Amino acid sequence: MPTFLPKLHALFGATGLLIVLANWSATVITLIIGDKYVIAMTKLTIAWGLLALIPMLILAGFSGNRLGQRMRGPLIAAKQKRMKIIAFNGLVFLVPSALILVPLAMQGQGGAVYYLIQSVELLAGATNITLLGLNMRDGIRLGRRRISAA
């Protein structure tokens, strides 16, 4: 296995986590500010940001699978289980929400439907931030074990 793969995996995962955290934070801040133009531009930026986020998470998943091929144990199992939830949240809630909210925000429509979808997006985003953070923590633990075993 290439020696640079753990570093690449960490880079992909950390970048994905930072993008999700930035999107979530920007959403909360713009909702607090309440300016319709700022909200619309934030939603548009988040939608375009999916072009960076999705590849990062896919690359983190592929590199993580490659790194974990020969590894067993509760940390690996927990990371794999979390990644399934993260992927589900992303595909079912986050990506559709991001794409649906853009035209609604651009039209200045902030009614009940908008805020319902926005709430789902924030909840799924907070869940993914937590799960990605736990995966990062466990990845660091696994890396330490790999170094001490070498």
Q: How many domains does the chain have?
A: 1
Q: What is the pLDDT of residues 78-108, one digit of tens each?
A: 999 999 999 999 999 999 999 999 999 999 8
> Residue 40's CB: how many other CB atoms inside 10 A?
19
CA distance 39 to 28: 10
pTM: 0.89
> Domain range spanning residue 129?
5-149
Q: What is the pLDDT of residues 27-64, one digit of tens each?
A: 999 999 989 999 999 999 999 999 999 999 999 999 99
133, HSE (Cβ side, Cα atoms, 13 Å): 9
Tell me how far CA of residue 121 lies from CA of 45, 67, 95, 143, in angstroms.
15, 31, 9, 32
Find the helix packing angle between 36-68 and 5-33, rounded to 10°: 160
CA distance 40 to 23: 13
Residue 147 pLDDT grade (very low, low, confident, very high; cuts 50, 70, 90):
low
CA distance 64 to 138: 12
